[in-house]
């Protein structure tokens, strides 16, 4: 039972937290410790509020700006093992055709290592023994598949390393920076684990994972004799497994009866597994290597919150640790093993520390067919139930919500709304039975789980039945459209961000590099060739006439995953049918908002929309500068 006790004295509404505080850029984010333990690289805003890469020497307070990007967002900043270069990915206005760049920390010279128009780069491997090389996947010769290229980090030379035989979807290199393992897709949707003893030897199939039991390669052991796998092998949950490549014997290293392996800690040079994380309601670590048991104990005692291990130096003397909470900034500490000491470096958003943030409570409820749904409930501060409520649906749908500081959740709660985040069937982390219960259930049983969550809120006295909105991005946007079309009496309004409206056109227009995954998508969503009618029945576009409540749609024009046509065709259909819809297009965004100006603009529009239809508080839009949003 959720605690809904409130004071009987006069209620004073909490301070209205400025949107800029929640949706603007963090003060510092994405820090990484250099392999030699001398520096921390991180991202922080600079001129025009654009996130740049900065460098700070350990023990010093001053930092130096390395990059000077004028617009495009920098992704996935990593150290190379020579400790004099960083690498990062960058696309063009959200198109996801990422280029790989390097930057020298002394000269600040930036080099495009993959200067090929329309080509996408994927980082495959860096190894300490080869500090001046990197293996990169590029769909240079065929946009539907990635070959492996070896790039020299000093002179930028690019040469083919391993050609894709046509169906490889993932590569893995050993400690000698050799591609000796891979995962290959099959025409029936299964995945094969393949291996070769040497780079000039033929590939051999080691395992075949059924379409409902796919796995992944975590890494090679240091001696190359074993592969660490994360898979469902003969179990309902994803286990961490050691596969002996000679005997083909599998040994379970770590497993949980109810939850999948979520993350793994391995020694930075010896590569053996030291701890495994299972994400239950919160992230819990299970120590496997006693040599770090006292370190984990010391780290977990520093402050409350989830512990995340960001990076370690190669001598394994210094660790960079993040403490993440539901209603506080993320705090970053430098942990020194020799002294078992932790030093606070910074928090990502210090301005949050004195603000009226609220706790995120893990909850569970049962569906109409007796599945247990786990999720999170956040209640507005100092208000009485029943609350106006937002059902916030995660994307994927093959992902899950977790217990963390989510700006959207705190924003909604601060404006006076309860927020429910259900991990409906098809969500990951809860085992294969729960995951596969979502197969072919888009707009059907997956949506029933959401409606059962709404009914639970009402039955518990948490939510006002006439004041519940639905909101989400990607699959969550689709769920919003489904909510307003298939269950038009349930929700007071909806907010759809980049959600597909027509599963037929959505399946026809996936990015080229998704082609090898199409059998899996057909299995989980529906086959366009044989089940077109099913896809049509699950597509909100064809049920626009049933919409009764207002809808707000946001879309990135360059979105490669959910094309802007998915939003524009339902906007057109609604307007032709005389339905209420607001539409905001962002010409320089893709599948989400990378630019803070655009985030601030859309959530300002959304805030006023919710206030109008649910009655919550709102901060006036004011004069927002720099955004690209076009209200159409």
User: Biggest alpha carbon distance in the chain?
Assistant: 78
Active site residue 623: no
Q: What is the DSSP letter of 9?
A: S
Q: Is the peptide bond before 386 cis (omega within 30 degrees of 0)?
A: yes
Q: Say how far apart CA 447 and CA 444 lie, in whole Å.
A: 5
Q: Count helices and strands (H / E) in the chain.
A: 11, 36
CB 462 within 8 A of CB 469: no
Structure tokens at 463: 């939510």
Select which of 91, 147, 348, 559 is catalytic: 559
Q: Say how far apart CA 250 and CA 567 lie, in whole Å.
A: 47
CB 496 within 8 A of CB 567: yes
Active site residue 301: no
Select which of 99, 374, 506, 591 is catalytic: 591
> In which element (H, E) is residue 552 found?
strand 551-556
> In which element (H, E) is residue 387 found?
strand 387-393
Q: Helix (H, G, I), strand (E, B), or coil: what is residue 486? A: helix
The candidate with the shortest Cα–Cα distance to 277, out of 269, 265, 267, is: 265
For 130-157, give the secondary structure using H, E and C: EEEEEEEEECCCCCCCCEEEEEECCCCC
> In which element (H, E) is residue 447 found?
helix 445-459
The tally of CA atoms less than 13 A away on the side-chain side of residue 85 is: 24
Alpha helices in 56-211 (DSSP H): none
The candidate with the shortest Cα–Cα distance to 282, out of 196, 135, 400, is: 400
Active site residue 147: no
Catalytic residues: 474, 559, 591
């Amino acid at each position: 039972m959720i605690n809904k006790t409130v004071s009987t004295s006069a209620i004073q509404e909490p301070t209205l937290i400025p949107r800029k505080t929640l949706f603007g850029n963090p003060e510092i984010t994405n820090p990484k410790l250099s392999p030699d333990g001398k520096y921390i690289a991180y991202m922080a805003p600079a001129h025009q509020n654009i996130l740049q890469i900065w460098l700070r020497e350990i023990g010093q307070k001053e930092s130096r700006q390395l990059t000077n990007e004028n617009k495009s967002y920098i992704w996935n900043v990593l150290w190379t093992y020579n400790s004099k270069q960083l690498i990062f990915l960058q696309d063009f206005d959200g198109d996801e055709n990422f280029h790989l760049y390097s930057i020298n920390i002394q000269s600040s010279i930036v080099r495009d290592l993959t200067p090929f128009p329309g080509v996408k780069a994927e980082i495959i491997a860096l190894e300490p023994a080869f500090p001046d090389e990197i293996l990169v996947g590029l769909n240079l010769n065929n946009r539907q598949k990635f070959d492996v290229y070896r790039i020299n980090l000093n002179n930028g030379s690019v040469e083919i390393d391993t050609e894709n035989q046509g169906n490889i979807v993932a590569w893995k290199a050993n400690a000698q920076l050799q591609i000796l393992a891979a995962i290959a897709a099959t025409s029936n949707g299964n995945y094969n684990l393949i291996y070769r003893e040497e780079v000039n030897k033929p590939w051999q199939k080691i395992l075949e994972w059924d379409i409902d039991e796919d796995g992944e390669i975590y890494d090679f052991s240091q001696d190359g004799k074993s592969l660490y796998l994360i898979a469902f092998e003969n179990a309902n949950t994803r286990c961490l497994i050691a596969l002996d490549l000679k005997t083909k014997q599998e040994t379970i290293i770590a497993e949980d009866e109810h939850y999948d392996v979520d993350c793994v800690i391995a020694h930075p040079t010896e590569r053996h597994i030291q701890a495994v994380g299972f994400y239950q309601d919160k992230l819990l670590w299970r120590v496997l290597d006693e040599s770090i048991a006292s370190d984990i104990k010391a780290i977990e005692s520093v402050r409350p919150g989830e512990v995340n291990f960001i990076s370690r130096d190669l001598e394994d003397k210094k660790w960079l640790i993040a403490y993440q909470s539901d209603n506080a900034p993320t705090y970053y500490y430098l942990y020194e093993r020799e002294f078992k000491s932790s030093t606070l470096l910074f928090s990502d958003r210090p301005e949050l520390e004195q603000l009226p943030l609220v706790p995120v409570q893990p909850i569970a409820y049962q569906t109409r067919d007796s599945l247990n749904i786990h999720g999170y409930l956040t209640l507005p501060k100092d208000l009485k139930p029943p609350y106006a409520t937002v059902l916030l649906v995660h994307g994927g749908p093959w992902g899950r919500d977790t217990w963390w500081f989510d700006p959207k959740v705190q924003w909604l709660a601060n404006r006076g709304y309860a927020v429910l985040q259900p991990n409906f069937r098809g969500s990951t982390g809860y085992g294969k039975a729960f995951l596969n219960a979502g197969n072919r259930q888009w707009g059907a049983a997956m949506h029933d789980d959401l409606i059962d969550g709404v009914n639970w809120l009402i039955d518990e006295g948490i939510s006002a039945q006439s004041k519940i909105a639905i909101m989400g991005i990607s699959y969550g946007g689709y769920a919003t459209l489904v909510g307003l079309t298939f269950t038009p009496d349930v929700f007071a309004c909806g907010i759809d961000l980049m959600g597909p409206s027509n599963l037929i056109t959505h399946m026809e227009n996936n990015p080229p590099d998704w082609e090898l995954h199409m059998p899996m998508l057909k299995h989980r969503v529906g086959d366009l060739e044989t089940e077109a009618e099913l896809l049509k029945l699950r597509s909100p576009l064809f049920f626009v006439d049933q919409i009764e409540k207002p809808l707000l749609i946001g879309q990135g024009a360059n979105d490669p995953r959910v094309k802007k046509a998915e939003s524009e065709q339902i906007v057109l259909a609604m307007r032709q049918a005389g339905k209420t819809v607001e539409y905001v297009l962002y010409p320089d965004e893709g599948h989400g908002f990378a630019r803070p100006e655009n985030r601030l603009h859309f959530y300002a529009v959304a805030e006023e929309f919710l206030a109008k239809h649910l009655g919550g508080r709102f901060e006036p839009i004011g004069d927002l500068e720099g955004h690209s949003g076009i209200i159409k």
